[in-house]
Amino acid sequence: MEKIKKVIQGWQFRQFNEGDWLDANVPGTVHTDLRTQGLIEDPFYGTNERDLQWIDKKDWEYQSVISVDHKLLEQDRIELVFHGLDTYADVYLNEQKILTTDNMFRTYRKDIKEYLTEGNHGLRIHFKSPIDTDLPKLAALGYGLPAANDDSEMGGLGDQKISVFARKAPYHYGWDWGPRFVTSGIWKDVELVAWSKINIDDFYINQHNVSQEKAELVAELEVESVSNWSGKLEVSTEAIVWEKTVELVPGKNKVKLDLSIDQPKLWWSRGLGEPNQYTFVAKLVSDEQPIAEETVTTGLRSVRLVRDQDQAGHSFYFELNGIPVFAKGANHIPNDSFITEVTEERYRYEIESAVAANMNMLRIWGGGVYESDTFYRLCDEHGILVWQDFMFACSMYPGDQAFLDNVKQEAIDNVKRLRHHPSIVLWCGNNEIDMAWAHFNEHAGWGWKNDYDDETREKIWSDYKNIFHNILANVVDKYAPNEPYWPSSPLVSLTDDINQHASKVTGSGDIHFWEVWHGEKPFEVYKENVGRFMSEYGFQSFPELRTVNTFAKTSDYAIESEVMLHHQKNGAGNQLIRTYMENYLPEPKDFPAFLYMSQVLQAEGIRQAIESHRQHMPYCMGTLYWQINDCWPVASWSSIDYYGRWKALHYFAKESFKDEALIFDQTEEQLKVFVVSDKLKAKQAQLKLTLQSLSGEKLSDEVLTIEVKANQSTKVAVKNLSDLIKDYKREEITLIGELLIDSELIDQKKHYFVRTKELRLGQAQIQIKRLSEVGEFKITTDQFAKSIWLDTEEAGYFSENYFDLLPGETKVVQFTPRTGEVNPSMIIDVKSMADMI
């Protein structure tokens, strides 16, 4: 008999035991259902967040009906599968409690055949207030646990930080870029699954040994059988079939079959090759008839986190199929405060935007959610590597046995769900906890441990080690044995002494570098602080005016207005942006100009960081800025705002992440020129250096023949500034570098010898001309134009934006619409920095 699968639909909701039942969207949340019903205002508008904190103090309930027919009752097993209940819930079938849940991230299954007869059956889920459920746990513990971003004040709880007790998305409780909306609801499908005789619960391709010559694999199946059974297991892919005879006993069975593929088509990350994948089909066959069948798609690749000892310390890089990979990308947070609002189109747009910006890695940060299958599938298809945190961030956690057991099962559920994705190349225990607590260094960390006596300190640290050094490490080792595990990011190494904590840039491990922004240091310190793998660093900007208008009125157009401050969750963030702007950019003339300038500021700062990191390749082998996306419209570190609008940073990242790129490094007396390549073959190239005045006059030029070395950074020229600049005024000139390979222009960079605020800017007349109906445009200018912004109401992005043009130069750009085709009558507004001052 064929397995029956049916998603339960037709849901209603209400506040527990109060009022009429109302239509609900499942998957969904209470907040989004209330909004859909018109019972609350837009949570993101103005300061509405404050008025909606009552929702998490109430209990809520959802109900639906399960229809059962004779065919369904004939099945041996009838299960309800809850793929995601958020979070504390009692499940009732015909008002009989059949299940209690306490983890948003787990999958819960219940065999309900014994409860069923033909006809309709009522299914009701009672969601208990996460606040009321967890406050007693805090009281019972007797002391609070650190939770730096838990906005308990916003939630009306004073200093009672209870997020650490819930296995629920930490960012729901607030963060320094996100609001506090502690949701409840059915956030993933509820499914009815029925089968007879045999069911394949899990199908995993264990990639035991993969090389270009051969893939040695093991098909591992978990099979549940109703009775003793003899038959054949067949596993196939691309016309290759392997088989063996199997004997099953009643209950759970584990079945393995060795597979081997000669000259496999390997899965490669973007830039290194094709992200090839294989679809494997497993069948249990009796008398030539399939009794049970399961399919899994995966890419064949080997991955290693290489931490070899060298003169500086220990390397830290990912080796894919034997090739060292320089990781280029960003940190990813949930795309919405209400994660069920994220459609496949929104996921696709984010991943395609990452690809368009020449990225090859995203880090799934540990304060959000284990992402949807759609997210990882898109990463698989586009060759985007994934650094996967477990969902723990910036907090210490309880260590009672119930909590630990819950964490272990959560880890098993999610590792098993996600381990077939070739994109996932690292499992990481948590975000920033080791360095924040800094157990072995009294003078490091965030001051957390200073609030506790020695006995409590040791207990908290022991609980930490149990989760992150034992439980999660063991789960990864058992269920994803071919992928590395890293206990915390950042970390120097797991040494169990003072050398463990990544409190500053060292020659080992990964580092989160926040001296720029939080430390208020100038952008130039990026050049002096390059680690082995830069897994976090960042700088904020505002979204553009169209986005601001979705949550603010014109009367709010001031960065210190109540609404603008509410949409800035990082304390003194707005003032920090202003202070940095005064140091690097001209003064903006008004509020819209300030928004624009903040984006240019962010982009210029992060470009310095990225290029410093790439310049030091292979010493440094990864640069992941914070962050690619937003969960609501806000001032933040993102390079793409909540509505998908690329900020200047995303355009700058695209240029700085090119697989072959020019980098200028100016010191007091010299200008050094580097070429960095992620390609695997060395090439001969030409480097053209042209000194020009900003009025367009050529002052000097030269052409050098250089070698672009494979998979590394190479210094290709050193110029004394006095010889190069002579008597020209620095604020009136630029050096244009062009990298040509086989006469093709691979990269072009303009280098200025002073900060942007010191450049001589005139009022440029910029012309834009449509070249075709498919979104191609030509831009020219009559004089130097800095940071030209092409602005349109159309959803999508340009091939280049926020670029500089000299008189006589031409720039041809392509517009990529977010969906559909290019609007042939699209209007583009053009501005440059001179228009903003």
* Short-list 363, 492, 368, CA closest to 434: 492
* Short-list 535, 528, 509, 512, CA closest to 309: 509
For range 512-518, the mean pLDDT: 97
Confidence at residue 90, expressed as pLDDT on a 0 to 100 scale: 98
For range 230-246, the mean pLDDT: 96
566: part of which helix (H) or strand (E)? helix 562-566
Bridge partners (DSSP) of residue 101 are: 89
pLDDT tens digits, 725-764: 999 999 999 999 999 999 999 999 999 999 999 999 999 9
Token pair recorded at residue 458: 């040791």
761-837 architecture in CATH?
Sandwich (2.60)
How many C-beta atoms lie closer than 10 Å to residue 623's C-beta? 29
pLDDT tens digits, 776-800: 999 999 999 999 999 999 999 999 9
Q: What is the pLDDT of the chain when averaged over all its residues?
A: 97
Query: From CA 697, how far away is CA 642, in angstroms rounded?
Result: 42
pLDDT tens digits, 571-630: 889 999 999 999 999 999 999 999 999 999 999 999 999 999 999 999 999 999 999 999
Query: From CA 515, how far away is CA 526, in angstroms rounded?
Result: 9
pLDDT tens digits, 336-356: 999 999 999 999 999 999 999
- CATH homologous superfamily of 4-191 equals Galactose-binding domain-like (2.60.120.260)
Task: Look at residue 820 and give its three-state secondary structure.
Answer: coil
Q: Strand order in 534-536's β-sheet?
A: 485-486, 424-428, 385-389, 361-364, 327-332, 622-625, 534-536, 511-512
Token pair recorded at residue 408: 């272990």
DSSP state of 807: T
For range 242-255, the mean pLDDT: 97
Tell whether pTM > 0.85. yes
Q: 567-594: b or e for each residue (b if 16 or more CB lie within 10 Å)? A: bbbbeebbebbbebbeebbbebeebbbb
Q: For residues 641 and 647, is the Cβ–Cβ distance under 8 A? A: yes
Band (774; pLDDT cuts 50, 70, 90): confident
For range 640-664, the mean pLDDT: 98
Bridge partners (DSSP) of residue 260 are: 216
Of all residues in the chain, the percent with pLDDT exceeding 70 is 100
Query: From CA 324, how far away is CA 273, in angstroms rounded?
Result: 14
List C-alpha distances in Å: 728 to 23, 736, 777.
Answer: 71, 15, 34
| The domain made up of 323-656 is a member of CATH 3.60.21.10 | no
Whats the size of the chain, residue-wise? 837
Query: From CA 683, how far away is CA 708, in angstroms rounded?
Result: 5
The torsion region of residue 263 among left (phi > 0), alpha (psi -120 to 50) and beta comes to: left
| Ranges of each domain in the chain | 4-191, 197-298, 323-656, 658-758, 761-837
pLDDT higher than threshold 80 for residue 195: yes
Confidence at residue 1, expressed as pLDDT on a 0 to 100 scale: 55
The torsion region of residue 505 among left (phi > 0), alpha (psi -120 to 50) and beta comes to: beta
For range 35-59, the mean pLDDT: 98
Query: From CA 835, how far away is CA 831, in angstroms rounded?
Result: 6
Bridge partners (DSSP) of residue 210 are: 215
Which sign, positive or negative, has the C-alpha torsion 15, 19, 21, 22?
A: negative
pLDDT tens digits, 138-148: 999 999 999 99
CATH of 197-298, one of 3.30.300.130, 2.40.70.10, 2.60.40.10, 2.120.10.30: 2.60.40.10
Same CATH fold, 323-656 and 197-298? no
* Short-list 693, 696, 652, CA closest to 787: 652
**Reported CATH class of domain 658-758:** mainly beta
Q: For residues 427 and 487, is the Cβ–Cβ distance under 8 A? A: no
Confidence at residue 773, expressed as pLDDT on a 0 to 100 scale: 80
Instruction: Give the rounded distance of the alpha carbon of 804 from its chain centre.
Output: 30
For range 321-338, the mean pLDDT: 98
